Amino acid sequence: MASQSKQVGIWGNTEKPAFWDLLPDIAAWAGKHELDIFLTTRIIAKAEKGFDFDYKVIESADDFKQLNLILSLGGDGTLLALSRAIGDRETPILGIHLGELGFLAEVTTDDMFAKLDRVAEGDYEILERMVLDCKVQNGNESHSFHALNDVTIDRGSSHRMVNCELTANGNHVANYKADGLIVSTPTGSTAYSLSAGGPVVMPNLDAMVVTPICPHTLSLRPIVLPDDRTIEITFPDNPTGGLALAVDGQVQESLELEARVTIQKADYKTRMVIFSDTNYFDVLSQKMGWGKRGE
Question: Which ranges of the chain would DSSP assign to H, the alpha helix?
Answer: 17-32, 41-46, 76-86, 112-120, 192-195, 280-288
In angstroms, the first-to-last Cα distance of the chain is 41
201-210 pLDDT, tens digit each: 999 999 999 9
Task: Say which range, 192-201, 249-258, 279-288, has the weakest mean pLDDT.
Answer: 279-288
Number of CB atoms found within 10 A of residue 27's CB:
19
* pLDDT of the residue at 217: 86
The mean per-residue pLDDT over the stretch 90-94 comes to 96
pLDDT bin (cut points 50, 70, 90) of residue 1 is very low
Q: Could you tell me how far CA 176 lies from the centroid of its own chain?
A: 26
Of 258, 216, 198, 206, nearest in space to 233 by CA: 258
Of 184, 233, 190, nearest in space to 206 by CA: 184
Asked whether residue 295 carries a pLDDT value surpassing 70, the answer given is: no
Task: Say which range, 66-80, 185-199, 226-240, 277-291, has the weakest mean pLDDT.
Answer: 277-291
pLDDT bin (cut points 50, 70, 90) of residue 4 is low
- Secondary structure of 186-199 as H, E, C letters: CHHHHCHHHHCCCC
Asked whether residue 262 carries a pLDDT value surpassing 80, the answer given is: yes
The mean per-residue pLDDT over the stretch 263-268 comes to 98
- Secondary structure of 128-150 as H, E, C letters: EEEEEEEEEEECCEEEEEEECCE
* pLDDT of the residue at 100: 66
The residue that leads in pLDDT, 3 or 25, is 25
What is the overall mean pLDDT for the chain? 92
Based on the residue annotation, tell me whether 248 is a catalytic residue of this protein. Answer: no
101-130 pLDDT, tens digit each: 678 888 988 889 999 999 999 999 999 999
Are 207 and 184 within 8 A, CB to CB? Answer: no
Q: Which residues pair with 262 in a beta bridge?
A: 135, 232
Q: Rounded to an integer, what distance in angstroms lies between the CA atom of residue 157 and that of residue 201?
A: 31
- The active-site residue out of 36, 52, 63, 76 is 76
Q: Are strands 7-12 and 69-74 parallel, antiparallel or unpaired?
A: parallel
9-18 pLDDT, tens digit each: 999 999 999 9
* pLDDT of the residue at 159: 79
* pLDDT of the residue at 56: 95
Asked whether residue 266 carries a pLDDT value surpassing 80, the answer given is: yes
Asked whether residue 3 carries a pLDDT value surpassing 60, the answer given is: no
